[in-house]
């Protein structure tokens, strides 16, 4: 009856343990390189493998945001594709983990059930460790100077000698693909490439392509921070940063809802594709727009044009996941605005898709929501610990979002935050709409937003006797 019925083999790709791969080393360059590399493999290289399969009958449903869904007519082709994807990740990253499962459709299974079953299978196999190369007995091993855990294989001399493992040196090589060299300026000589150059290597749907595009609209070229201290320099108080970790709410339930709303295969497939694209686009665009609106960047003019130095790190932005590092005083505003804009965008994009005939009808009338955890800490604080803490806070925020939905029928994103301060310092969180900064009470509890339950959280090591003095300094 339709095309899908003939294509009974679904290949589900899911990158796994992304955070342990990204934060293996505390150095920002390696984290950024790892993130960029995963995006290139997922969005671009996997597609290239598909195209090079020749006359094979396949249909790509979606590739991006660390996942992939492709239909094949015959099992042999699906297996060939699977083998090449696994080999690609092993060769290009050494140790990033990716699960690839081939799922044959069961009679009478709906499209949504079929996809969900495949995703579940990838989760069961996510611990399938990539085989390492055995080290020869008796060989003296020097640990990698970046991640400190894998044996080093190659040296690199920059300011001093580095001994890097293969995984870290691949990350370091890849990060250079983001920049082009210009005449030296006060912020160095490496600017972000143009959006068209980045699109060639990573596709249009890549966070740095999106960032470059928005800045080109203002005729500006962009300098990125080179380490977390670069972000801390822009921060008030200085040497602090905010780590933001956001993740879409109830994504699994939305997919089930798509199954209910669209019983026909063809509609379900289009809705699933639209859902994946919309979530990814909303995450990237909301993140870039909010950073450019909230974060105090530096802008200057030279004979060669306008430059911007933006003290924000897009650690991960794809699918429904977002991880950002920004100056500490911007972190709460960035998080609150991102949460709002993500919901607006997912609502607006569904309307656009319906208008353009790419979606039969909306799958979430009020838009989709996201919840965030924010940790404010010194830039010396280990980044992987910040990520874990922010992840825990995000889970608390998600519970609050679910509670608001079930008790009040209120579909909204939420955030929870924590400030890790050194004795004597105080953080004030400014509410949106130009209100007075909110000062948490003696228990350290404070609200952000306009008391509609948008966020709640607490600061630790709060020193009330410092508030007045600090408040004047901030205002
Ligand atoms: Zn290493």
CA of 357 to the centre of ligand 1 (A): 48
Residues 48-73 have a mean pLDDT of 93
pLDDT at site 140: 64
Contact yes or no for 233/311 (Cβ under 8 A): yes
Average pLDDT of the segment spanning 300-324? 94
Distance CA 112, CA 270 (A): 11
Domain end call among 124, 158, 190: 124
Q: Is the pLDDT of residue 81 over 90?
A: yes
Residues in the chain: 475
Q: Flag whether 283 is in a domain.
A: no
- Same-domain status, 244 and 389: yes
Do residues 116 and 257 share a domain?
no
Q: Is the pLDDT of residue 431 over 80?
A: no
CA of residue 450 relative to chain centroid, distance = 27
CA of 238 to the centre of ligand 1 (A): 30
Contact present, 232 and 376 (Cβ < 8 Å):
no
Rounded distance, CA 405 to CA 254, Å? 14
Spatial distance between the Cα atoms of 415 and 17, rounded to a whole number of angstroms: 24
Q: Is the preceding peptide bond at 22 cis, omega within 30 degrees of 0?
A: no
Q: List all residues 6 or more positions away from 64 whose beta carbon is below 8 Å from its beta carbon.
A: 42, 43, 203, 205, 276, 277, 280, 318, 319
- Residues facing 418 on adjacent strands: 375, 458
- Residues 31 and 93: their CA atoms lie apart, in Å, by 13
| 288 in a structural domain | no
- Asked if 328 and 376 touch (Cβ cutoff 8 Å), the reply is yes
Q: Is the pLDDT of residue 475 over 60?
A: no
pLDDT of residue 187: 87
pLDDT value at residue 265:
92
Share of the chain above pLDDT 90, in %: 62
Residue 450 has pLDDT above 80, yes or no: no
For ligand 1, the distance from its centroid to the CA atom of residue 25, given in whole angstroms, is: 7
The CATH number that applies at residue 41 is 3.30.70.1230
Domain boundaries, position 460: 237-278+312-474
Residues forming beta bridges with residue 325, ordered by sequence position:
243, 313
Distance 348 CA to ligand 1 centre (A): 43
Q: What is the DSSP string of 254-265?
A: HHHHHHHH--SH
Residue 464 DSSP label: G
Q: How far is the CA of 123 from the centre of ligand 1 (A)?
A: 26
CA of 146 to the centre of ligand 1 (A): 5
pLDDT at residue 134, rounded to an integer: 53
CA-nearest of 226, 102, 205, 92 to 158 is 226
Say if 170 falls within a structural domain: no
For the residues 119-133, what does the mean pLDDT come to? 68
Ligand 1 centre distance from Cα of residue 392 (Å) = 27
C-alpha of residue 211 to centroid of ligand 1, in Å: 28
Assess whether pLDDT exceeds 80 at residue 117: yes
CB 295 within 8 Å of CB 338: no
Determine what percent of the chain is predicted with pLDDT higher than 70: 83
What lies within 8 Å, CB to CB, of 219 at 6+ separation is: 305, 306
Residue 177 tokens read as 């693909």
pLDDT at 92 over 50: yes
Residue 85 to residue 102: CA distance in whole angstroms: 12
Q: How far is the CA of 220 from the centre of ligand 1 (A)?
A: 35
Mean pLDDT along residues 10-28? 93
- The answer to whether 393 touches 374, Cβ cutoff 8 Å, is yes
pLDDT at residue 158, rounded to an integer: 63
Phi, psi of 321 (to 5 degrees): -100, 140
Query: Rounded to whole angstroms, how far apart are CA atoms 261 and 360?
Result: 10
* pLDDT higher at 323 or 455: 323
Q: What integer pLDDT is reported at residue 469 of this predicted model?
A: 31
Q: Is the pLDDT of residue 28 over 70?
A: yes
Residue 436, φ and ψ in degrees, nearest 5: -65, 150
Round to whole Å and give the CA distance between 414 and 199.
33
Distance 24 CA to ligand 1 centre (A): 7
4 or 218, greater pLDDT: 218
d(CA 19, CA 75) in angstroms, rounded, equals 32
In a domain, 162, yes or no: no
Is 84 inside any structural domain? yes
Give 2 Cα–ligand 1 centroid separation in angstroms: 49
Compute, in angstroms, the gap from residue 90 CA to the centroid of ligand 1.
15
Distance 164 CA to ligand 1 centre (A): 5
Note whether 335 and 255 are within 8 A (CB). no
Confidence of residue 123 (pLDDT cuts 50, 70, 90): confident
Indicate whether 172 belongs to any domain. no
Which two three-digit tokens encode residue 55? 């006359």
For residues 143 and 151, the answer to whether their CB atoms sit within 8 Å is yes
Distance 149 CA to ligand 1 centre (A): 6
Q: Is 294 a residue whose pLDDT tops 60?
A: yes
Which pLDDT score is estimated for 452?
40
Q: Tell me the CA–centroid distance for residue 148 and ligand 1, in Å.
A: 6
Max mean pLDDT range (152-161, 218-227, 331-340, 379-388): 218-227
- How much distance in Å is there from the Cα of 243 to the middle of ligand 1? 23
Give the distance (Å) from ligand 1 centre to CA of residue 95. 10
State in Å: Cα 44 to ligand 1 middle: 25
**How many whole angstroms from 309 Cα to the centroid of ligand 1?**
29
Q: What is the dihedral of CA 35, 37, 41, 45, to 10 degrees?
A: 140
Do 242 and 109 lie in one domain? The reply is no
Question: What is the total count of domains within the chain?
Answer: 2
State in Å: Cα 229 to ligand 1 middle.
21
Residue 188 belongs to a domain: no
Q: Are 317 and 283 in contact (CB under 8 A)?
A: yes
User: Is the predicted pLDDT of residue 398 greater than 80, yes or no?
Assistant: yes
Of the candidates 245, 239, 234, which has an alpha carbon nearest to the alpha carbon of residue 384? Answer: 245
Point out the domain boundary residue: 83, 106, 124. 124
Residue 30 Cα to ligand 1 middle (Å): 9
Q: Report the separation in Å between the CA atom of 167 and the middle of ligand 1, taken as the mean of its atom positions.
A: 6
Task: Give the CATH number of the domain where residue 342 resides.
Answer: 3.30.70
Of 67, 92, 124, the last residue of a domain is: 124
Pairing of strands 370-378, 415-419: parallel
Q: Residue 448 contacts by C-beta under 8 Å, 6 or more apart in sequence?
A: 332, 336, 415, 417, 429, 431, 438, 454, 455, 456, 457
H or E element in which residue 267 lies:
helix 265-294
Which pLDDT value is given to residue 5? 63
Residue 215 belongs to a domain: no
Q: What is the pTM (predicted TM-score) of this model?
A: 0.87
Model pLDDT, residue 126: 61
What mean pLDDT comes out for the span 115-128? 82
Residue 126 Cα to ligand 1 midpoint, Å, equals 22
Ligand 1 centroid distance, CA of 394 (Å) = 29
- Which of 416-455 are b and which e, b meaning 16 or more Cβ less than 10 Å from the residue's Cβ? bbbbbbeeeebbbbbbeeeeebbbbeeeeebbbbeeebbb
Co-location of 110 and 250 in the same domain: no
What are 145-179's pLDDT values in tens digits?
A: 888 888 887 776 665 677 899 999 999 999 999 99
Q: What is the 169 CA–ligand 1 centroid distance (Å)?
A: 7
């Amino acid at each position: 009856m339709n095309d899908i019925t003939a294509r009974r083999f679904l290949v589900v790709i899911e990158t796994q343990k992304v955070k342990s791969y990204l934060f293996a080393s505390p150095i920002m360059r390696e984290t950024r390189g790892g993130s960029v590399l995963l995006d290139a493999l997922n969005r671009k290289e996997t597609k290239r493998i598909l195209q090079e399969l020749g006359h094979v009958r396949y249909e790509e449903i979606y590739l991006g945001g660390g996942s992939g869904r492709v239909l094949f007519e015959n099992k042999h082709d699906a297996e060939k594709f699977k083998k090449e994807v696994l080999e690609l990740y092993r060769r290009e990253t050494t140790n990033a983990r990716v699960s690839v499962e081939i799922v044959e459709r069961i009679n009478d299974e709906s499209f949504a059930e079929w996809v969900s079953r495949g995703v579940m299978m990838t989760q069961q196999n996510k611990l399938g460790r990539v085989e390492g190369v055995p080290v020869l007995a008796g060989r003296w091993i020097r640990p990698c100077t970046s991640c400190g855990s894998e044996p080093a294989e190659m040296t690199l001399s920059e300011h001093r000698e580095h001994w890097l493992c293969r995984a870290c040196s691949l990350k370091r090589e890849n990060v250079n693909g983001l920049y082009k060299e210009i005449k030296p300026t006060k912020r160095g000589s490496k600017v972000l490439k143009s959006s068209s150059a980045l699109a060639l290597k990573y596709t249009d749907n890549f966070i740095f392509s999106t960032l470059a595009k928005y800045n080109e609209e203002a005729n500006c070229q962009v300098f990125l921070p080179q380490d977390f201290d670069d972000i801390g320099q822009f921060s008030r108080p200085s040497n602090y940063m905010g780590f933001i970790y956001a993740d879409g709410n109830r994504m699994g339930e939305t997919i089930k809802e798509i199954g209910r709303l669209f019983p026909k295969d063809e509609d379900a497939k289009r809705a699933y594709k639209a859902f994946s694209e919309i979530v990814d686009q909303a995450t990237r665009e909301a993140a870039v727009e909010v950073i450019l609106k909230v974060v105090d960047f530096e802008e200057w003019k030279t004979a060669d044009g306008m430059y911007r130095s933006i003290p924000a790190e897009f650690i991960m932005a794809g699918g429904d996941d977002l991880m950002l590092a920004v100056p500490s005083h911007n972190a709460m505003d960035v998080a609150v605005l991102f949460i709002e804009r993500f919901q607006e965008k997912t609502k607006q994009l569904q309307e656009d898709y319906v208008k353009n005939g790419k979606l039969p009808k909306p799958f979430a009338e009020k838009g989709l929501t996201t919840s965030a955890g924010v940790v404010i800490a010194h830039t010396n604080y280990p980044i992987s610990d910040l990520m874990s803490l922010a992840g825990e806070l995000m889970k608390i925020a998600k519970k609050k979002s679910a509670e608001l939905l079930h008790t009040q029928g209120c579909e909204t994103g939420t955030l929870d935050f924590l400030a890790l301060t050194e004795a004597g310092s105080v953080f004030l969180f400014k509410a949106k709409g130009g209100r007075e900064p909110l000062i948490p009470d003696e228990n350290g509890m404070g609200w952000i937003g306009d008391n509609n339950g948008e966020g709640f959280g607490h600061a630790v090591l709060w020193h009330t006797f410092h508030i007045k003095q600090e408040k004047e300094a901030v205002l």
